Structure 1
């Protein structure tokens, strides 16, 4: 996609944000450096102690308040209507106070970034006097839940390249290697395939470590009979992939095979349940009931999945308490697992996209039991 296409997308998002704000009675939406800022304006940077925010007004105007050192970057990269810059000899609260007075934000409903540095929130709280604060995810998150054709294509490509990397690395896994050596091989191969970086900290859990769902690679030495959980993903043109396969180093025992097949069946049942109109909780139930029926319910200790896009965890969340209803364009993971403490764990994860008629599975990598 060229720059003109991206600017068109940003302009469209700006219009939609304004519409949502009016629908929800929100006078202003304030975003600090984050994926939300990047998604809505085209600009992002590291959050810091200096005040840098984008204020979306319900009139449709977007005002950046930025340190002068960032002004040129914002002008070159962002969608905006006005920039109010300040330098270190000024108190940015004065600029924020003046904007709030100009726009009449006192006592209004204001959406702010869900996760924000306290010093930024403190300035906003002080300037937006008597405002009722709500989460910006109720506005920006509503847009990010639904992937455009271009976003979906980036995620397909990200998944494809990650799978190619995994296919190269699995044959290299040997007894005597360390978990972090497997991680390093996989991350190097992802880069070789064209992914710019891991989309999260790569999980390589072997032996009893595989029973820890979010264990990260350590220096444990791989042994014959180890279950190895490989949960990883990469970034492609700003979008994440995320997949998990579990392999056996050596010959699988009957207990391991029983657990593996239970997870595989649960994952497949959940995938097959995906279609527009289904509740996220029903997808969770499809996987969970399968595992429970096979006697392993107490060992499935997390939700079934999560949305994904520019960040590895987004709306919608696929859990038994989720209120989300599936709609076309939503992309999320389906990743049931069984974790036997002190013994081993098994997890299988694919990304799926809700289509008009059902589901598209973004991952194509085999889910059959692999013995190395």
Structure 2
């Protein structure tokens, strides 16, 4: 699998006359090599040549993880030695290069300074090619995403009984994260959002010490990771009866979510889908309160291409995966967001989520 992915990347490199691609720890390194590490103070690089050779430059403390992956020459260093000698070995292996491709959006300055010790003429961004390759999910990836979705749906259902008056948002978030871990989640891709009452007007209202009260809506936005792949779910829950205004806002967001999803198919653009949801919210008089794009891509990252937003005329194709999450946020009143995870299919779409979008009243 990883070899086939590298072959596609190498084909792009050859077309663009890029001699070498240097990847840093993160989702791209994992996607092309199977090595799953986080960026740290210890220099770690994966290097892919235009003739599809693979090199790893890693600290000794991570050697066992690299050994578990197929292929690739390994250059390592101890903490005491530092990476200088390993970089020189890599330089000797590679020789003189013309163009070197790096990830401009994820590479740290320290990592760039290290690769500057190689011999090359030009440095270019290989990010666009990588993002385009990663946008189309294969069956292997979709299987993992389905499992991640199952984890978040089951975890929310298990957490609902703990949402009561006097319970803090942090307590709800902690229970939710515990339930996801119990079901196999490797962690959370972002800080869990539990925003109740007036705090629901904060699109990124991370869980706080605020106590939940009767008559409030609670926006719960959270994610799971399974085999590296992310599920990202939002539901808005009511504790007791809520005001007619909040019910109206909820129904508008629900209509925007469902109508936009129903329109998803190959040939539509990211702008088109955003526009469908936005017109419903604007038509109801809440356009100024929908303050973000409709959705973002999901996969090995919580946010990746494609982005469903105004003026993004990217044409949707089979295999693309993204969220649809319209929202309305009214200061000092509250907020509503409903989010599903979608895959574009040959004839339309698959909604990976089955969880109800009817307003749940606890």
Q: Contact 1:64/1:80 (CA < 8 Å) preserved in 2?
A: no
Of 221, 225, 230, the residue aligned with 1:231 is 221
Residue 209 of structure 2 corresponds to 219
Question: What is the TM-score when the length of structure 2 is the normalising length?
Answer: 0.94
Residue 98 (1) aligns with residue 92 (2):
yes
Partners of 2:14 and 2:91 in 1: how far apart? 23
Residue 26 of structure 1 corresponds to 18
TM-superposition CA deviations, 1:104-130 (whole Å, max 9, x none): 314x25233531221111122353543
Residue 246 (1) aligns with residue 236 (2):
yes
Q: Contact 1:329/1:354 (CA < 8 Å) preserved in 2?
A: yes
Partners of 1:86 and 1:191 in 2: how far apart? 34
Long gaps (5+) in structure 2: none
Cα gap change, 1:193/1:138 in structure 2, threshold over 3 Å: closer, same or farther? same
Partners of 1:367 and 1:236 in 2: how far apart? 24
Of 18, 41, 44, the residue aligned with 1:52 is 44
Of 263, 273, 277, the residue aligned with 2:253 is 263
Q: Contact 1:195/1:235 (CA < 8 Å) preserved in 2?
A: yes
Other structure's SS at 1:242 match = strand
Residue 179 of structure 1 corresponds to 169
TM-superposition CA deviations, 1:6-39 (whole Å, max 9, x none): xxx1111121111121223322110011111111
Q: Contact 2:222/2:232 (CA < 8 Å) preserved in 1?
A: yes
1:252-331 pair list within 5 angstroms: 252-331=242-321
Long gaps (5+) in structure 1: 1-8
Q: Contact 1:199/1:234 (CA < 8 Å) preserved in 2?
A: yes
Cα gap change, 1:255/1:24 in structure 2, threshold over 3 Å: closer, same or farther? same
Other structure's SS at 2:249 match = helix
Question: What is the TM-score when the length of structure 1 is the normalising length?
Answer: 0.91
Of 188, 194, 201, the residue aligned with 1:204 is 194
TM-superposition CA deviations, 1:267-307 (whole Å, max 9, x none): 11110111011111111111111111111001000111011
Partners of 1:219 and 1:337 in 2: how far apart? 23
Residue 106 of structure 2 corresponds to 115
CA RMSD of aligned residues (A): 1.8
Other structure's SS at 2:116 match = helix
